[in-house]
């Protein structure tokens, strides 16, 4: 477990890297994402304070996610083997599973407006910290669509 500081914009991991690490965010903000065959980014996860960011792949195969820093960030880095040896935090794992389950259900059953509402209730403090287009990318919609959803929501009040 090694503590490092990275500047905004630093790429910690690229698709295809072997032996991808686990990043525990102490302060700042990371994101993990894929780039599809059209060159479009899809954000898989934001990693604010206390979040664990990693590619959930075996450590000896090429990973599929890019991970970079959206803000200047302080991280604790560990290898997966290391974490497995010292016995991982089971409750954290279960919480992670729950978060992913909710995300899948949201993606399957919600329209743009409900996805956004779900997002701001799950990550209330992140909305201000990341550009709208990244939120859109996380939700699986375009920036234009999200802009219109926001408009609609603010007019309702």
Return the half-sphere exposure (C-beta side, CA atoms, 13 A cut-off) of residue 103. 15
CB atoms within 10 A of CB 41: 15
Measured distance CA(125)–CA(128) in Å, rounded: 6
Identified binder of a copy of itself from the candidate list 103, 113, 133, 148, rule CB under 8 A: 103
Measured distance CA(27)–CA(63) in Å, rounded: 25
- Any bridge partners for residue 36, and if so which? none
Mask of contacts with a copy of itself, 54-93, x by CB under 8 A? -xxxx-----x-------------------x---x-x--x
Asked if residue 144 binds DNA (CB under 7 A), the reply is yes
Q: Which is nearer to DNA, 22 or 70 (CB)?
A: 70
Question: How far is residue 51 CA from its own chain's centroid?
Answer: 9
CB of 52 to a copy of itself, least distance (A): 11
Identified binder of a copy of itself from the candidate list 11, 94, 132, 153, rule CB under 8 A: 94
Q: Which residues bind a copy of itself (CB under 8 A)?
A: 34, 36, 40, 42, 44, 55-58, 64, 84, 88, 90, 93-94, 96-98, 100-101, 103-105, 107-109, 140
């Amino acid at each position: 477990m090694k503590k490092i500081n990275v500047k905004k914009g630093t790429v910690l991991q690229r698709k295809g890297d072997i032996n991808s690490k686990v990043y525990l965010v102490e302060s700042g903000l990371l994101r993990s994402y894929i780039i599809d065959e059209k060159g479009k980014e899809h954000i898989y996860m934001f990693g604010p304070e206390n979040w664990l960011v990693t590619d959930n792949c075996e450590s000896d195969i090429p990973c599929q996610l890019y991970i970079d820093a959206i803000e200047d960030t302080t991280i604790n880095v560990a290898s997966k083997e290391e974490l497995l040896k010292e016995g991982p935090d089971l409750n954290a794992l279960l919480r992670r599973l729950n978060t992913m389950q909710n995300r899948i259900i949201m993606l399957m059953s919600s329209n743009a407006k409900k996805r956004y509402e779900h997002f701001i209730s799950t990550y209330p403090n992140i909305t201000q910290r990341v550009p709208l287009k990244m939120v859109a990318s996380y939700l699986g919609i375009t920036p234009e669509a999200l802009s219109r959803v926001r408009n609609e929501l603010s007019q309702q009040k």
